[in-house]
Chain A
Amino acid sequence: MTKRMFVKGNEAVCWGALAAQCKCYFGYPITPQNDIPEFMSKELPKRGGVFVQAESEIAAANMLLGAVASGVRAMTSSSSPGISLKQEAISYMAGSELPGVIVNMNRGGPGLGDIGPSQGDYFQATKGGGHGDYRLLVLAPGTVQEAYDLTIEAFNLAFKYRNPVMILGDAILGQMKEPITPKDPVIDDSEVHNWCLDGAQNRPSRIIKSLYLEDGALAAHNLKLAKKYEQMAQEEVRFEEFLTNDAELIVVAYGSIGRIVKTTIRKLRQAGHKVGLLRPISLFPFPKEILLSLAKAGKKFLTIEHNLGQMVEDVQLAICKFATTDFYGHLPGNLPTPNDFEQPILNSLEK
């Protein structure tokens, strides 16, 4: 067995990026994700890669756009206020079909908020974030191993779909340490040379752009993008089911909250309460089908988030023909513990 490493979630993202052959990192410091640029500044140059601390988040995101346009695997990372600044470039990457990887270690908001954990950026991550009719593929790790695995996936998916991919963590995931088992993934970049900008020698020149002024061109482009999002919905849904089979109540929670709720559920199970967990791992595409089938089976639902209610809208939409979901929101500024969720779960069970 490969030797396990004991690392922070932020560092696991970096190890995942290196395993996925990320060659460039562009960033600007912000808590609680500074371990990422710190790590990349040390490790990327050693491996022949490039680390740039940009003059701003906006610059870093545009550097990412430029790097991936040349077919290189690259990423940027930040936390909530910094991610807002990157949205223009993210929209341009979606419009230009460029495979940037963006990591958001979510902190409290709106505005500068605080530096503690929060899930307040769910809407921003899954509903576009920047302007225009586009989607990011959004992956939400709940463990440090998942932070590693999903970062590798993020690069592969970004290149598979030529679409930006976001890793959505939070200050808990970024700061906590857990063992990870490293991998040696096979990277297939054989398609890259069919679209990237690499000098146009012995081939016609290419243009990578997001501007479509000709009659009907933008509509066609939007439909092309929509097809990718449909394919993602078919092929990229990821979730974890925990004790759902005999459960009367399904708790839906993602990321750090998902794993914290798992402890609550184990405790309530010991007391004989039939509770289970559905933890979405891909937030876009959202695991609608499984929720629908659980709703058809007559389960009750409770959505728990570290915000005042965002993913709950997607849960409700998924199950609306058969069920309604309760909601419990943990406020930012407080570290959530398993105890916080006991009573809300019991309340929903009793309804």
Chain B
Amino acid sequence: MSKYVDVIIAGFGGQGVMLIGNLLAYAAMEQGLNVTYIPVYGPEMRGGTANCTVVIGEEEIGSPIIFNPLSLIAMNRPSLDKFQPRVQDNGVLILNSSLVEPSLAEKNRLKAYAIPVNELADKLGNLRLANMVALGAYVQATGIVPLQAVKNALPNVISSHYAHLIPDNAKALQTGYDYAQNQGTV
């Protein structure tokens, strides 16, 4: 079976879900994989979630839009409520346990990780790094691309205005990765 994963990344507007979607996609491209990224657009944006879908695979990619994803990064409760039921059995769930009760994870059905991304980001000194913590955890949970590839892609998706924050973002990716490895599973 050739390498393939798709993910819905969802949260409040402002949590940086589009940025980590772009980052993951860019890293996958640099690994020589096929990839699509699509921000959700139009009426779906109403109702508490901003979201994007990233599809990564060795084979040519058909649909960039996925109803039943293999994985989900849920940064808030409305995102979990909306998308968790759609995740395929044995799929991966990264749940922001800073904002969402971990017991809500369908852990009998999914490989679920509860990551307190806000607290972990706060400890790093910048709450806005929460998205990177979540992506680091996702990369550990799925192994779809090496963490270093994601770090290497940072300068390509973070505007030059914020280039000084790249080391902090790399640190946040590592923090999420380590947390998922050591204590993240629900």
Whether the pair B29, A172 counts as a contact (CB closer than 8 A) is no
User: Interface centre among B39, B40, B41, B43, by most A CB within 10 Å?
Assistant: B41
Q: B42 interface residue, CB < 8 Å from A?
A: yes
Residues on B facing A (Cβ under 8 Å): 22, 25-26, 29, 34-44, 61-68, 156
Q: In the complex, what residues of A have CB within 8 A of residue B40's CB?
A: 335
Answer whether A337 and B65 are a contact pair too, CB < 8 Å, given A6-B29, A179-B29.
Answer: yes
Quick one: given A6-B26, A338-B67, A339-B68, are A175 and B62 in contact (CB under 8 Å)? no
* Separation of A343 and B42 alpha carbons in the complex (Å): 25
Q: Whose C-beta in chain A lies nearest to the C-beta of B67? A: A337
- Interchain CB contact under 8 A, A179 and B42: no
Query: Measured between C-beta atoms, what is the minimum distance from B144 to chain A in Å?
Result: 16
Chain A residues close to B by CB (< 8 Å): 4, 6, 32, 114-116, 171-172, 175-179, 259-266, 333, 335-340
Question: B26, B39, B44, B63: which contacts A260 (Cβ < 8 A)?
Answer: B63
B102 to nearest A CB, angstroms? 28
* Contact between B65 and A172, CB atoms less than 8 A apart: yes
Given A333-B43, A335-B40, are A177 and B66 also a contact pair (CB < 8 Å)?
A: no
Query: Cβ of A333 and Cβ of B42 under 8 Å apart?
Result: yes
Say whether A177 contacts B42, CB under 8 Å: no
A176-B38 in contact (CB<8A): yes
Question: In this complex, what residue of A is CB-closest to B44?
Answer: A335
A275 to chain B, nearest CB (A): 13
Q: B65 contacts which chain A residues (CB < 8 A)?
A: 172, 260, 335-338
Task: Specify the chain B residue showing the minimal Cβ separation from A258.
Answer: B62
**Of B25, B39, B62, B64, which one neighbours A266 at CB under 8 angstroms?**
B62
With contacts A338-B62, A339-B68 taken as known, whether A175 is within 8 angstroms of B39 at the C-beta atoms is: yes
Q: Which residues of chain A have C-beta atoms less than 8 A from B156's C-beta?
A: 6
Interface centre among A171, A172, A340 (most CB of B within 10 A): A172
Partner of A339, one of B22, B61, B67: B67
Contact, CB under 8 Å: B63 / A116: no
Closest to B39 in A: A175
List of B residues within 8 angstroms of A4 by Cβ: 29
Q: Are A178 and B62 in contact (CB under 8 A)?
A: no
Min CB distance A291 to B, Å, is 21
